[in-house]
């Protein structure tokens, strides 16, 4: 029987009866079974050390207890000793059940609304930019991309601090508004619009880049075919370009929404009022509180993650069937 002869086969001992022979590649080179899976080792280790283990620690704190003297959190590592009291309390404060007032509900609702508005506006603003660069950037595409990435060179904190100066009562924004006939607006005194604008400004580069990548990968001939078949430019956009860029839009939405859900420093720097507090603000406040505060913070983190699971599943399902 003709079959490829591999390098390993020449030196490897013949397989014993009952034992599986080593895998072989069609080119004739033999590899042990662990060879290709081992390439996933670093990523696997990274996932365990920096995601699964911290996740378990957070869970252990949320389900843990409190030091009777110092009122500091004590994680309980064994799941069979876990207490669900803190979790129950937090759920109660979100939904107003289990005898709790819905104290956390406004922050949850606010966060969802802020993120939906901010990420939607990010799409509306980023799409034309990404579209232009991808389709009409031409020789200047690299320059445009460099300019788009430029905000990443300045830290998010510094960019938000810059906005606190621009939005002061006598800041640049109010001076411009004054010139065009609008009155002074107190941007930094607990205004939702300021926080949403901050979120948009802070995260919009993360939206432009995946959109650009998605739009750039759309096959130009599909659009040409659409035009050849009589579709107008706008119809081509709505019927061809936009549907094909849906995975990129979804990817961009995920990339900007996930950090927005956990964001707390945007509202802290641009408002610092309870009326604009977000889930991240609650977590930050609870971490710095004694007693069961840190456990509540951990429970809030868990609930936030649970809340995002349907979102992620929708994204995975959508991208799975509509990959470009």
Partner 1 sequence: MALHPREGGRKHPLGIGDSRMNRRTFLRNTGLTAASIPLASAILAACTKNTGTQVGGEGGQVLQNPARPDNPVTLPTEGNPTIADGLKPEAGPLELYNWEEYINPRIINMFEEQYGVKVNVNTFNTEQESLATLTTASDINYDVFFPTTNILSKLAVTKILMPLNKTYLTNLANVWSVYQGTEANSPFYDVGAQYTVPYTVYTTGVAWRIDQPRGSAIKGPSADYVPSLDNPYDVMWDPKWKGKTHILDDYREVIGMILLKNGVYDVNTDDSSTRTQNLATAQQQLVDLVNAVDVKADVNDYTDMPDGASLVHQAWSGDMVSAQYYFPKYQENKDVIRYWAPTENMMIGQDFMSVLNTGSNPVLAHHFLNFMLDFDSKDNSGNSMVNFQWNGYIPPMKGVVKEDLIKGAGPWQTGRVVQPSLETCIPTEEDFTVGHQLLELTPEVDSQWKDAWETFQTTG
> In this complex, which beta carbon is closest to partner 1, that of residue 123 or of residue 164?
164
Contact pattern for partner 1 over residues 76 through 95, marking x by CB under 8 A: -xxx----------------
Among 104, 144, 206, 315, binds partner 1 (CB under 8 A): 104
> In this complex, which beta carbon is closest to partner 1, that of residue 52 or of residue 242?
52
When asked if residue 282 is in the footprint of partner 1 (CB under 8 A), the reply is yes
When asked if residue 189 is in the footprint of partner 1 (CB under 8 A), the reply is yes
> Could you give the angle at which helices 141-149 and 105-136 cross, rounded to 10 degrees?
160
Residue labelled with tokens 């895998």: 23
> In this complex, which beta carbon is closest to partner 1, that of residue 214 or of residue 293?
293
- Cβ proximity of 175 and 167 under 8 Å: no
Half-sphere exposure of 112 (CA within 13 A, CB side): 9
Q: For partner 1, which stretch binds (CB under 8 A), given 20-28, 218-226, 249-257, 267-275?
A: 267-275
Q: CA 164, CA 264: separation in Å to the nearest integer? A: 15
What DSSP designation does 324 have? -
Q: For partner 1, which stretch binds (CB under 8 A), given 68-76, 113-121, 215-223, 248-256?
A: 68-76
CA–CA–CA angle 276, 282, 287 (5° rounding):
145
When asked if residue 53 is in the footprint of partner 1 (CB under 8 A), the reply is yes
When asked if residue 72 is in the footprint of partner 1 (CB under 8 A), the reply is yes
CB < 8 Å & 24+ apart, contacts of 316-321: 318/246, 318/247, 318/250, 319/247, 319/250, 319/251
Among 70, 84, 95, 182, binds partner 1 (CB under 8 A): 70
When asked if residue 142 is in the footprint of partner 1 (CB under 8 A), the reply is no
Q: Least distance (Å) from partner 1 to the CB of residue 281?
A: 8
When asked if residue 57 is in the footprint of partner 1 (CB under 8 A), the reply is yes
Among 15, 23, 38, 71, binds partner 1 (CB under 8 A): 71
When asked if residue 186 is in the footprint of partner 1 (CB under 8 A), the reply is yes
> Could you give the angle at which helices 279-287 and 246-262 cross, rounded to 10 degrees?
30
Q: Quick one: tokens of 143?
A: 């320059």
Secondary structure of 175-224 as H, E, C letters: HHHHHCCCCCCCCCCCCHHHHHHHHHHHHHHHHHHHHHHHHHCCCHHHHH
Among 5, 55, 182, 184, binds partner 1 (CB under 8 A): 184
Binding site for partner 1 (CB under 8 A): 53, 56-57, 60, 65, 67-72, 74-75, 77-79, 103-104, 106-107, 168-171, 184, 186, 189-190, 272-277, 282, 285, 288-291, 293, 316-317, 320
């Amino acid at each position: 029987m003709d079959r490829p002869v591999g390098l390993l086969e020449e030196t490897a001992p013949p397989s014993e009866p009952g034992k599986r022979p080593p895998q072989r590649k069609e080119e004739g080179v033999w590899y042990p079974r662990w060879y290709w899976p081992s390439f996933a080792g670093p990523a696997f280790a990274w996932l365990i050390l920096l995601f699964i283990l911290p996740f378990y620690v957070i869970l252990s704190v949320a389900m843990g207890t409190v030091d009777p003297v110092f009122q500091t959190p004590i994680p309980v590592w064994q799941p069979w000793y876990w207490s669900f009291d803190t979790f129950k309390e937090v759920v109660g404060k979100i939904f107003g059940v289990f005898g709790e007032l819905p104290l956390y509900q406004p922050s949850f609702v606010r966060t969802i609304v802020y993120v939906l508005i901010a990420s939607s506006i990010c799409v509306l603003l980023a799409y034309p930019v990404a579209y232009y660069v991808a389709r009409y950037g031409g020789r200047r595409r690299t320059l445009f991309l460099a300019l788009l990435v430029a905000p990443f060179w300045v830290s998010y904190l510094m960019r938000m601090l810059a906005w606190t100066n621009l939005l002061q009562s006598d800041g640049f924004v109010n001076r411009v508004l004054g010139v065009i006939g609008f009155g002074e607006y107190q941007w930094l005194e607990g205004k939702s619009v300021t926080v949403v604008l901050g979120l948009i400004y802070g995260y919009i580069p993360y939206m432009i880049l995946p959109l650009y990548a998605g739009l750039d990968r759309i096959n130009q001939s599909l659009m040409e075919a659409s035009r050849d078949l009589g579709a107008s430019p706008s119809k081509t956009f709505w019927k061809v370009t936009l549907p094909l860029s849906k995975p990129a839009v979804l990817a961009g939405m995920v990339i900007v929404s996930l950090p927005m859900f956990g964001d707390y420093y945007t509202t802290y720097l641009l408002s610092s009022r309870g009326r604009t507090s977000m889930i991240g603000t609650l977590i930050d406040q609870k971490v710095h509180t004694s007693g069961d505060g840190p456990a509540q913070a951990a429970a809030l983190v868990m609930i936030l993650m649970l809340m995002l699971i349907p979102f992620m599943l929708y994204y995975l399902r959508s991208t799975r069937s509509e990959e470009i």
